[in-house]
Amino acid sequence: MEDLSSNIIQESTSTIISYVGLSAMALTVIIISVTLFLLIRQYFFRKRAAKHLRKNQKYNDLLIDCLLSDDKEVSTICRLKGKSEKKYLFDSVIFLMHNFSGEFSDKIKDLFYNLGLEKYIIKKLKSKKWWIVAQGLRDARTMEFHEAVPYAEKYIDDTHLELRVEAQISVMALKTRDPFEFLSQLHRPFSLWARIHLYQEIAKWEQKPDAAEWLKVDNPGVVSFALRVMGNLKQATNNREISQLITDPLAAIRSEAVYYFALTNNRELWLKSAMKYKAEEPEVRQRIGQTANMLSDIPLSMLIQWFNWEKSTPVKIELAKAMRNHDHSKDLQNIELAALETVA
């Protein structure tokens, strides 16, 4: 019996050792195979990248030759060469358009459309990948490709923030009639990023839009944007209509309304908002402190009262700045001024 048990144990041990050996060999083969695959893959990636770089350099040089030459024969030869691999020339044109302006950029656009390179923009706009569509919209704005508007309008309220912003900017930049119509169609949040870009576009226009129309849109981001545009452009509106925003449920809207009152020097409505100071949220109180010196004859005693009551440090800092810069700050004692300097 003992000999039989000993034989069974020896056979079991041999089997286990064999399995371990085979497993180790298999693992080694897998590791070597994966390593070789990654090395080969990296080699081909580098080779393709180097080829792409050489092609780009070739067509960059070709494009510059075309643009710098006034000889019609040279331009014709350039166009013929450029037709062979347009996708590389497309990348070069977009790159140069981001770095040049004036007469040179006009030449780039002429060459772009003469070679029919706009088809690469359309191809991107038709992609099912949102980031490629976003890139296509950027390229369309760069080349002032107005045919991209219908594509952009499809994405103005898209779930992806970046694509949504690109679409909104593109509609405003490329659409010639009612470019702000899309604002009434927005249901998703109107991001701060989009507002900044849209305001930059508005600043380029000679004839500014009447932003008061956007106050009726049922989107808090659009209403805030309308107030900021109206304030910066000093667009006044009916007091009765705008005063309703003082009691808006959203603190962000009430805060923006306070800023609008200050920018348009509407002391009456600013004070009406300020009367609710202690009942307001910190965001609105901070805005009141920031704008206190933008209007004349705001009582210093009121600022002092708020300062003594306030518990929020950021709001207290804004009130300290307002008191320090107040027209009647000389009425404060030196000790009080020194304390305000420390806080502000």
What DSSP assignment string belongs to 9-35? HHHHHHHHHHHHHHHHHHHHHHHHHHH
**Residue 130 pLDDT more than 90?**
yes
Return the CA Rg of the chain: 33
Q: In the structure encoding, which two tokens stand for residue 37, read together?
A: 């695959």
Task: State residue 149's pLDDT score.
Answer: 93
Task: State residue 126's pLDDT score.
Answer: 94
What DSSP assignment string belongs to 91-123? HHHHHHHTT--THHHHHHHHHHHHTTTHHHHHH
- Are 309 and 278 in contact, with CB atoms under 8 Å apart? yes
DSSP 143: T
Task: State residue 141's pLDDT score.
Answer: 92
For domain 118-207, the CATH architecture is Alpha Horseshoe (1.25)
pLDDT digits (tens, 9 = 90+) for 56-74: 666 666 666 666 666 554 4
CA 259-234-254 angle, to 5 degrees, is: 25
Range scoring the smallest mean pLDDT among 44-48, 144-148, 189-193, 336-340: 336-340
Average confidence (pLDDT) over 278-284? 91
Which residues fall within 8 angstroms of residue 215, CB to CB, at 6 or more apart? 223, 226, 227, 237, 241, 242, 245
Task: Give the integer Cα–Cα distance in Å for 77 and 98.
Answer: 25
Nearest of 247, 237, 191 to residue 214 by alpha carbon: 237
**Residue 166 pLDDT more than 50?**
yes
HSE, side-chain direction, 13 A CA sphere, residue 111: 34
**Residue 127 pLDDT more than 70?**
yes
Average confidence (pLDDT) over 208-231? 89
Nearest of 81, 149, 141, 146 to residue 115 by alpha carbon: 81
**Residue 114 pLDDT more than 50?**
yes
Q: Does the predicted model carry a pTM greater than 0.75?
A: no
Query: Taking every pair of C-alpha atoms in the chain, what is the biggest distance, in angstroms?
Result: 111
Task: State residue 338's pLDDT score.
Answer: 47
Q: What percent of the chain has pLDDT over 90?
A: 27
**Residue 35 pLDDT more than 90?**
no
Domain boundaries, the chain: 51-116, 118-207
Residue with tokens 């000999």: 3
Nearest of 114, 143, 162, 166 to residue 151 by alpha carbon: 166
